[in-house]
Amino acid sequence: MKRLLLSATLFILGINAFAQISHGGEPIEWEGKSNDFQFESTPVPDRQELSQEDAINDQYKDIPYRFGVEYEVDFDSDNNGNWTALEDGTRVWRLGVSAPGALTINFDFDVYQIPEGAEIFVYDPRQRQVVGSFTKANASKNSTLGVGLLSSDKIIIEYIEPAWVTEPGYLHINKVVYGYRSVLNGLGIEEKGPFGNSGPCNIDVNCADLGLYDIQKRSVAVIVNGGGVCSGALVNNTNEDLHPYFLTANHCLSGNPSNAENWVFYFNHEIPDCGGSDDDAPTDQSVSGSTVIARNAESDFALLELDSNVPASYNVCFSGWDATDSEAAVISAYGIHHPGGDVKKICFEEDAPYHDIGTAGFVNQTWYIDQWEEGVTEGGSSGSPLFNQSGNIIGQLAGGLAACAGPVNNGQFDYYGRMGVSWDFGSTPETRLSDWLDPSGTGQLILPNSCAGAAPEDDLTLGSFSTEQFLFCSLESIDESINVVNTGSNDITSFTLSLEINGTAQDNVEWNGNLGSFQSEMIELGSIQLVEGDNTISVEVVTVNGGEDSNENGNDQSNEYLATAFAGEISFTLQFDDFPEETSWRIVDENDNILYNGGGYPDGTESYQDVFCLPGGCYSFIINDSWGDGICCQQGEGFYLIEDDEGNVLVEGGEFGETAVEPFCVDGLGTRENAILSTISVYPNPAKSFVNIHLGDVQSLDGIVVSDLLGRTVYSEVGQNVNGEIIRLETSNFGAGVYLVQIKTEFGTASRKIIIE
């Protein structure tokens, strides 16, 4: 299925009262002003047609998010509006613009030529909102100006020209935007959903455990542009002179670099406190106008130079970056963005993103995110930065299908153009970043944030574990490792890690060698014996190079596993419709842990089948269709089917919209086997010098094995015929700790965890 061609030209600019860089003052005769003059009107768009188009196009991030329809107009200070001469010789020109039924109006001066001393104000007839004054200093390099949103369907433009001006000004408006849906919370627009403009699974940036994010978020801004809403970030350069460079996606330009001339950039548009009101999100910290200085489609980047410096009062930061393009050095990532022009959000990728080629069609060099663990991105997030675990930008959002499916994310992917590719792509400064972000040719490929100071010297960051599996349907031992990265400026020659298994401290892990800056290595943690139920491994940095770690961020990491000896099998069949690439699915437990999932099926795939193990319990099968029409029966006869090991149907269907959620329960092992094994008990627990194993209804014993949490066997006994016997185990030589007792029978293995004091 192809996205629809937009039937209306897209044009979006945005602002709130007293936003953009303005110069104070107020309109002439602001108190008691009369507005009984002619208004020029725009057409009224077809809301139903726009809604149908938006339902399709909002799914895509490789085009800007639309909220307004652009109408071409021909209004100027010579032929429209009213001129008034005041007693002191001051001349005032006023023009009224009406967009009947619009939520907002904004417009574009394609000719903005006013002399020194002249001023422009824009306000609504009720005098609740006013922007300005704008002066000659607000003109772009090409003498244009984009003026942003007022939340009204009527506005008044007022130009004040002093009597002493020798060369009169001239103004021409060629575009007026009819805002038919809300963008930028905090404007006082009532027609918006309970979660603002974005889906409910998005996370407000100030609801995250900030750490690095408190600095990085200050570089990110929402762009209200000539083709839609996008996101992006200020970026530092090796001169560290706060030059106003701004990184976003090339596709936000809609193929025309001149579109950036009148873009408006809003900083700090976020809810100040977690759980606060959207109305508290500032919309009065913005700048207007920029020039594209470098871009390419290969990695979908555009580097802009803002027409003016960002005022110090905005308290922004310029983000650092990592252009090494090293997969090994990126162990986790996060994104900060403005979905749908909403307040600032954050999303987390706990695993390592990886390089991919050809994912995006026109974008060939990407960082690929399989799925976000927390939060998502949406339309309007395009161009937003992807930060690595050290808080440096490694790319900008180019596209993807990640979105909210109700209160949770849909488990889909995203992809980002890689900064390492953008750094030196092509043969001219106009296609690469290096000439601009390293203007002195230092050769640096890693630069910290302007607000963070120098990189820490001795800094070890813990990354992901080697074991990605969560559910284990046997009580086995797993060989676990953890990835570590030197994120400091010094070489690391030694470090110490503490290890804890299910709350019990183990021997420290000592390492010696040489790990250069931003090099990584997998560190073996040993064999871990899983016990029945929940298992947790925790690792923490104790020392680096014989002393303290210079940066506490990234110093602890943990992994969870669910293990059971009581598991049955289910069979899963998924028959696709004509568009398998639209389908993704997952099976989650009652705690929303993802046990199995799939998606990203290539065009032409007919079906998918598999057999999964599940412990006894209740689960949910969740299936998503990114087009919103299910897998049956409009575009093929697709279906899904889950059966237990006896052929009983647990879940089936195929007709749904965007998402179907199907709860189901399984018994795990057969009823008889479970019943027999459940009669086995171990006591006392906790124990000191002995434990009793009561075998209940078990008639034949294959053996008993006791092991510690590192999988080391401390006791074993071969099988024998038994009749509900009680077996006594002496434990005085075990040592204090947690142990796993495995009682192996003809009905399966019963596992019991015991604590020796």
The one catalytic residue among 133, 151, 299, 382: 382
Closest CA to 39 of 99, 122, 88, 98: 98
Strand partners, 56: none
| Residue-by-residue DSSP string for 724-745 | S-EEEEE-TTT-SEEEEEEEEE
Determine the distance from the C-alpha atom of residue 499 to the mean position of all C-alpha atoms in its chain, rounded to a whole number: 31
Query: At 654, which amino acid appears?
Result: G
Displacement of CA 45 from its chain's centroid (Å) = 33
CB 19 within 8 A of CB 284: yes
Let me know if 251 is a catalytic residue: yes
Of 207, 444, 234, 463, whose CA–CA distance to 345 is shortest?
207
Collect all residues with Cβ–Cβ distance below 8 Å to 574 and sequence separation of at least 6.
583, 585, 598, 607, 608, 609, 638, 639, 640, 641
Give residue 441's region: left, alpha or beta (phi > 0; psi -120 to 50).
left
Structure tokens that stand for 639 in this block = 């279906």
Tokens standing for 189?
A: 């627009």
382 is catalytic: yes
Structure tokens at 37: 């003059």
Could you give the angle at the alpha carbon of 556 between the alpha carbons of 553 and 557, nearest 5°? 120
Q: Is the Cα dihedral 237, 205, 377, 327 positive or negative?
A: positive
Q: Are 318 and 219 in contact (CB under 8 A)?
A: yes
Closest by Cα among 458, 558, 441 to 517: 458
> How many angstroms separate the CA atoms of 448 and 318, rounded?
9
Residue 580 has φ and ψ, to the nearest 5°, of -60, -25
- Tally of CA atoms within 13 A in the half-sphere of 738 that contains its CB: 18
Catalytically annotated residue among 172, 251, 269, 337: 251
Extended beta strands in 329-381, E state:
333-337, 345-349, 354-357, 365-369
**Helix ranges (DSSP H) in 376-497:** 419-423, 434-437
Owner of token pair 């983000």: 319
Q: Which amino acid is it at 280?
A: D
Tell me the HSE value of 397 on the side-chain side, using a 13 A CA sphere.
Answer: 35
Helix, strand, coil content of the chain in percent (nearest 5): 10, 45, 45
Q: Which of 300, 438, 625, 629 is catalytic?
A: 300
For residue 613, which of 418, 429, 469, 712 has the smallest C-alpha distance? 469
Q: Are 170 and 77 in contact (CB under 8 A)?
A: yes
Element (H, E) at 677: helix 671-677
Tell me if 488 sits within 8 A of 459, measured CB to CB.
yes
Q: What b/e readout covers 688-711, taking b as 16+ CB neighbours within 10 angstroms?
A: eeebebebbebeebeebbbbbbbb
Give me the active site residues, please. 251, 300, 382
